[in-house]
Amino acid sequence: MIRKVPGARGAWPGADRSTDPYLPEHGNGGYHVAHYDLDLDYRVVSNRLAGRATVTAVAVQPLSRFTLDLGHFRIQDIRVDGRPAKYTHRPDKLHIRPERPIFAGDTFRVDIRYAGKPVPISGRWGDVGWDELTDGALVASQPNGSPSWFPCNDRPGDKAAFRVALTTASPYAVMVTGDLVSQRRGAGSTTWVYERLEPTPPYLMSVQIGRYELVEIAAGGVTQRAAIPRALRAAFAHDFGRHGEIMEALQRLFGPYPFSEYVVVVADDELDDPVEAQGMAVFGRNHVDGRRTHERLVVHELAHQWFGNSLTVADWRHIWLNEGFATYAEWLWSGVCGDLPTDACAAQWHARLAARPRDVIVANPGADRMFDPLVYKRGALTLHALRKRVGDEAFFTLLRAWVADHRHATVTTEQFRAHAQRFARESLDGLFAEWLDRPALPPLPR
C-alpha cells in the first residue's frame, strides 16, 4: 500500500515558519527535536570551526520540506535518514527537501557536515552567539545566537537532549553546558565530551574556551565549580565566597537545584552583562573586583537555573517569567544576607519606575522591549504584589510548587496566573491585569 501525502508539493503551516511571534525567522513549527549530537573541531588562532551534526526529530505534521537555523558556514553534505537531501542555504536558514516525504509522527534524522569561521548573529539585540575572545571563544546565545555554531530548531520551546564533543588545542580548557563524560588527549589537542540529558533549548547551550584554572566554589551539597583566569583567583574567591550560602538560600526558597552541578565561567575579557546557560553562568573579568560589587548578578544568574533554564518560556512573549523571577531573587537574597530588606528593595525600585515613562506591558513587551529593565523590575514587583496579597506562606509554597510542577518543561504567563490562583482565597485577576497587562504603574502594596 502506498501512502500519499496530501499537498506534497506545497507547504503546511509550520513547515518553514516559526511559532514564536518575536522571532518569526527563527525556528520551525513542523517538528520537535529530541536529540542533538555535535562533533566539533575548533582552531582558536584561525577561528575555524568544523562540525558534524546529527539532529534527531519527530514530525508533528507531514513534511515534504523543513528548515533548520544555521549561520554563515559552508555546507559539505546533508542527509535525511541516510539519503542525500536537496537544500538551499539562505542567510541563517537551511531549507531542506528530503528524498522521501516525512509523515506526522515519524522520527527522522538529519546529518549535516559544515565548516567555516563562526561569527555572531547580528540583530536588534546586538551580536549574539559564538564570539572570539582575546584568547579563546565564548558563546552567549540569548535569544537567537545558537545558529552561529550549530544547526538547530532555534526556538525556546523546543527543548532537547545534547551530546557535544569538541576538539581544540590542549592548552585550552573547554566548558560546555552539560556533564563531562570523557576527555581524550591527542597529539597537541584534546577532545572534551559533554552530555546534557535534561531537555534544553538551543539558546541555553554554551561553549567556553580559554586558558582557565578550574576551582571549587563551595564544598558540600550541589557541586559548584568555576573556570577562571589565574590572575583573578584571589578576587574571585572573595566575590564568590558566599556562593554556597546563596545556593542554599535559593534552594530553601525555590526547591532543589534542578541540575547535577553549577559551573561559573569568568572570561578573561570584559562583558556588558553576565549570561546564563543550562547549569552554567558566564561573567566578564569586569564583574570580579574583589569587593562583591556584582553579587546581585551572581544571585540573578543562579536563579535563572530555576526560572529560565529548568522552567523555560514557551516563547519570548513570556520573558518576565525568566527575568522578573531572577530579579526578585536578588531582592530576596538582599533580605536574607542582611543587606536591604526585600520590602525596601521593592519600594526603592517602585519609586524609580514611577519616575520613568510607563510604556511597557510586562506580559507582552514586544520584541524591541523584551530586555527592557522595566520588564525585569515590573516583573519582580508583580511577584512582590502577589506575595503581599496571598501572604508569605502561600507565596513560597506556590513558588516551590510552580518549580516542581514544571521541572524541565516550558511555561507561559497564562499557566502562572492559573497556578497562583490555586493558592489564593480571592480572585487574582485584577492584580495580574494591573501589573502585567497595563502599562500604568499600580501603587506598591503594603
Active site residue 301: yes
Which strands make up the sheet holding 126-133, listed edge to edge? 121-123, 126-133, 136-140, 207-210, 173-176
What is 225-283 written as a DSSP string?
Answer: EEEE-GGGHHHHHHHTTTHHHHHHHHHHHH-S-SSSEEEEEEESS--SS-EEETTEEEE
Asked whether the bond before 143 is cis by omega within 30 degrees of 0, the reply is yes
**Cα–Cα distance, 409 to 156 (Å, whole number):** 11
Task: Indicate the residue type of 42.
Answer: Y
Active site residue 213: no
User: 151, 69 in Cβ contact below 8 A?
Assistant: yes
- Which of 198, 295, 301, 330 is labelled catalytic? 301
**Cα–Cα distance, 104 to 387 (Å, whole number):** 44
Residues making up the binding site: 300, 304, 323
Q: Which of 35, 39, 282 is nearest to 182 (CA)?
A: 39
**Cα–Cα distance, 21 to 368 (Å, whole number):** 12
Residues making up the binding site for Zn(2+): 300, 304, 323
Active site residues: 301, 376
